[in-house]
Structure 1
Amino acid sequence: MKSPVDKLLNKHDNLIHSDGKKVQSHTQRDDGEWILHTIMIEGCDAPFKFRRTKKYKSLKGQQVNLTYYPDSESVAGFEIEVMRVVRIKQH
């Protein structure tokens, strides 16, 4: 039987899955009715972003499994690479 992650990866070509990544920093900001979470992963320069309805305890220093896709956004006229997280699970 396929795991939920395998089903997602088979259905969406651009998705990437990474296991056991260490979180360097985790910020949480209000974004209307949502909370915008931004995490930085050890060894990666791009921020990983996701929105949830509530705040979490900090993931800093934790090991996480991530399912995400690469994207870009414009900040002050510059295009920066970001990773849009669709699934995150703490070890």
Structure 2
Amino acid sequence: MKTEPDKLLKRHQQLTHSEGLKVISHVQREEGEWVRHTLMLQGYEVPFVYRRKQKYQSLQGASVNLTYYPVEETIAGMAFEQMKVVRIKRA
């Protein structure tokens, strides 16, 4: 039986799945009706972002399993690389 990450990875080739990543920082900011979550992970210099309808318990210090893909966001004319999270679960 295939797991949910395996099904996503088969359908979308640009996705990456990582397990057991340690969260160093978790910031939650309101963006209109959504809350934008930004994670910084041990061993990575790129932020991992996702949105939810409401705030969530802090993941700082937790181990997580992520499915994500790279995106580029332009802020004030400068391009910043970040990872867009499709699926997140505590490890």
- What is the TM-score when the length of structure 1 is the normalising length? 0.97
Q: Distance in 2 between matches of 1:4 and 1:67?
A: 10
Q: State the match for 2:5 in structure 1.
A: 5
Q: Distance in 1 between matches of 2:54 and 2:79?
A: 28
> What are the residue-to-residue correspondences of 1:1-91 with 2, within 5 Å?
1-91=1-91
Runs of 4+ residues deviating >2 angstroms: none
Q: Distance in 1 between matches of 2:31 and 2:86?
A: 17
Aligned residues: 91
Unaligned runs of 5+ in 1: none
Q: Distance in 1 between matches of 2:71 and 2:51?
A: 15
Q: How well do the aligned residues superpose, as a CA RMSD in angstroms?
A: 0.6
Unaligned runs of 5+ in 2: none
Quote the sequence identity (%): 55
Q: Distance in 2 between matches of 1:25 and 1:78?
A: 23
